[in-house]
Structure 1
């Protein structure tokens, strides 16, 4: 990853011109030029423009804001919490699964190799019938 914002832009845009980036950001090409910190008339990029660029090129906006110097990595620190999956409603888990399947189908690099598409049911105790499901138990 690049260490300056212009290097970052080169990385994520695959070398798009400043005019192309300006169109995406909703600013003029001269504004993009003034984002260069070595210029005497340097200005810091606006957060909305940086976010628009990141979203257009499919990169995380938070990463872009850090690269632009709007946020620091410490500012962006996310507090992680661990919550057992058993506490989530089934509908929420199914929505997340659907979201991941949709993302996987749109990104060929995440597809499962052919030899892994059909797992052996014996790999899974419940699927193989080695474990009773709670609703299969006889009533008391």
Structure 2
């Protein structure tokens, strides 16, 4: 699996420029450019640069080394857990949502009624939805 370390950097740095990243990592801007996996002259980042970036942004170095493809999760003998959505910037979440929406070939199935939920409705559900069911606390306000 090809890792996109530049995407990882974008997520953790919230849009730092490549020049800023190069300075943090102690490498040239052209080296950062060659970390792009789509390039024919692609290179893996060196461990010391990866660790410097992770530490600068307060991220676990081991996770960064895995993201950079320097180590695998089995090399590190850890279980890589999914990240919490709160760790992503709003811009990154919106880009992902747009990417997924662009990839939809057909609109999602429409739900036409309760039968589409796989269970029979209870008559009280209709009354509750219509607002005709009195709750015990309705009388307390009188």
Tell me the TM-score normalised to structure 2 length.
0.52
Gaps (5+ residues) in structure 2?
A: 79-142
Distance in structure 2 (CA, Å) of the matches to 1:5 and 1:35: 7
Across the aligned residues of Structure 1 and Structure 2, the Cα RMSD in angstroms comes to 1.5
Q: Which has the larger radius of gyration?
A: 2
1:4, CA displacement in angstroms?
2.1
Distance in structure 2 (CA, Å) of the matches to 1:8 and 1:40: 20
Q: Which residue of 2 aligns with 1:69?
A: 69
SS at structure 2 position matched to 1:44: coil
Distance in structure 1 (CA, Å) of the matches to 2:39 and 2:64: 21
Aligned residues: 77
- For residues 21-41 of structure 1, what are the alpha-carbon distances to aligned partners after superposition, in whole Å with 9 as ceiling and x for unaligned? 000000011100001111111
Q: Which residue of 1 aligns with 2:10?
A: 10
> Which runs of structure 2 are paired with 1:1-140 in the superposition (5 Å)?
4-78=4-78
1:49, CA displacement in angstroms?
0.3
Higher relative contact order (CA 8 A, sep 6+): 2
- For residues 75-115 of structure 1, what are the alpha-carbon distances to aligned partners after superposition, in whole Å with 9 as ceiling and x for unaligned? 1115xxxxxxxxxxxxxxxxxxxxxxxxxxxxxxxxxxxxx
SS at structure 1 position matched to 2:51: helix
Tell me the TM-score normalised to structure 1 length.
0.52
Asked if structure 1 preserves the Cα contact closer than 8 Å seen for 2:34 and 2:41, the reply is yes
1:68, CA displacement in angstroms?
0.2
Gaps (5+ residues) in structure 1?
A: 79-140
Distance in structure 2 (CA, Å) of the matches to 1:69 and 1:30: 19
1:6, CA displacement in angstroms?
1.4
Q: Which residue of 2 aligns with 1:82?
A: none
Runs of 4+ in 1 over 2 A off after TM superposition: none
1:8, CA displacement in angstroms?
0.6
